[in-house]
Each structure stands twice: as C-alpha cells, then as structure tokens.
Amino acid sequence: MAQLFPKWTNHFPTVAAVAGFVVTVLVVGFVWYYFSPWYTDVGYRPPQPISYSHKLHAGDLGMDCRYCHNYVEMSPHANVPATQTCMNCHTLILTESDFLLPVRESWKTKEPIAWNRVHKVPDYAYFNHSAHMDAGIGCYDCHGNIADMVVVQQKQPLSMGWCLDCHRNPDAHLRPHGELTNMSWTPPDNQKAFAENLKKEKQLAPPEDCSGCHR
C-alpha cells in the first residue's frame, strides 16, 4: 500500500516541538523585556514648558537639590519648586532673558508653571521620600546623576522588583546624611561596616511584605 505522506514527515513532531519551544522562549523574552519598565519607562523625558537645565544649576553651579525640592526631607513627596524659588535668583540674574519669560509671566500672574512629571510610582504603591532620605538613601540611587542632565530623564524602572532588590540588600545604597545629594559619592572601603552601624542606629528594617508599599 502506498504511503500517504513522504518519509520526511516522520521528523515533523520533533521539528514542531523544537520550533514551539523556540517560539515560546522568544515570545516570553520579547514580552519580559519590551513590556517591562526597563523598556517602557527608563529613558522617559517629557518636554518641559521651560528649558531648565539641571546640569547648569545642580552640576555647574553646584546648587543643592534641597534648595528647590525643599520638602523632600520632611514630606512623602518631593515638591516641585514654586515660581518664587526661581525668582529668588532671577530677579537679579538674566532678568531680560527670553528663556525665562514663562517664569516671569508665572510670577506676574501667580499661575504656577505646568511642569511635566518625570518620575511616578503607580497610584496603588506608597512611597515616602522623607523616610528614604532619613534612612540614608541618596537622590542618585533612584534618579541617577541629575547634575549631569540637561533634560531630566528616568534612569531606573521604579518597579516592584527593583524596589524589593534594594529593600532586601540596602547596604550598598546607604550613605551619610551629608552625602544625600552628592551625585559623585561612591561607597568607601568600609561601606559594609558603615551600613551595619547605620542600620542598628536607625533600626532600619526595610519592609518586604505587601503592606509595606500597598496600603
């Protein structure tokens, strides 16, 4: 009796199994990366209503982050500076600059500048800036080297897994209070001993359970 299918079809189940495995791995890998915050969020830098350069102010001029974001050590939120903060300097500096026209207009009309937010955790997650800074977590660890950015962009995914990695192993991220806004700070050779002492002194126990961030 003649065969209905050619001999090569005997290998079809093996080929189909291998192809199915490869396709599954590729699809999972594609979704794992391209649907993750590392791809969708990192690098996000929305246009702003004013060409404000953090590199100029925080980098070249050496302004401390807390001069503008002055609630960050006492509030859950890092406040966007009021127009008055800008005008503390710019009533005397570059008073006729076209770049600063929106700032002067905002100051004149009392209408706040509509800055576009760059960093944001989901509404169902609770994050407290003051608690992290009090614990010894510097600006750099979450925001990257802001002092080197002409246009601020998101440098970390701010995902649950990323946060938990730090909560489980915070030692490398802990720093002295005086270095919180230092963008060029690097952990010293005695970092492990310093971290252990700081954790004991402040009784640090970063939560790893759901209720720590989802309240």
Same domain? 66 vs 162: yes
- Give dist(CA 68, CA 112) in Å, integer: 15
Same domain? 73 vs 167: yes
- Does 133 fall in a domain? yes
Tens of pLDDT, residues 91-149: 999 999 999 999 999 999 999 999 999 999 989 999 999 999 999 999 999 999 999 99
- Give dist(CA 168, CA 190) in Å, integer: 20
Residue 1 has pLDDT above 70, yes or no: no
User: Span 45-62, mean pLDDT?
Assistant: 95
| pLDDT confidence of residue 90 | 96
Q: 106, exposed or middle or buried, with CB in 10 Å at 0-12, 13-18, 19+?
A: buried
| pLDDT confidence of residue 22 | 87
Buried b (16+ CB within 10 A) or exposed e, 121-137: eeeeeebebeebbebbb
- Does 102 fall in a domain? no
- Give dist(CA 56, CA 58) in Å, integer: 6
Tens of pLDDT, residues 71-89: 999 999 889 999 999 999 9
| pLDDT confidence of residue 2 | 62
What is the value of pTM for the model shown?
A: 0.81
Tens of pLDDT, residues 3-28: 777 777 777 788 888 888 888 888 88
Same domain? 22 vs 76: no
Whole-angstrom CA distances from 155 to 39, 53, 139, 169, 206 are 11, 17, 12, 20, 22
Same domain? 27 vs 119: no
Same domain? 164 vs 121: yes
Residue 212 has pLDDT above 90, yes or no: yes
Same domain? 73 vs 161: yes
Same domain? 52 vs 72: yes
Residue 32 has pLDDT above 80, yes or no: no
Same domain? 182 vs 131: yes
Domain that holds residue 20: 7-35
Residue (of 63, 101, 56, 65) closest to 83 by Cα position: 101
Domain count, the chain: 2
Residue 58 has pLDDT above 80, yes or no: yes
Same domain? 59 vs 161: yes
Percent of the chain surpassing pLDDT 70:
99
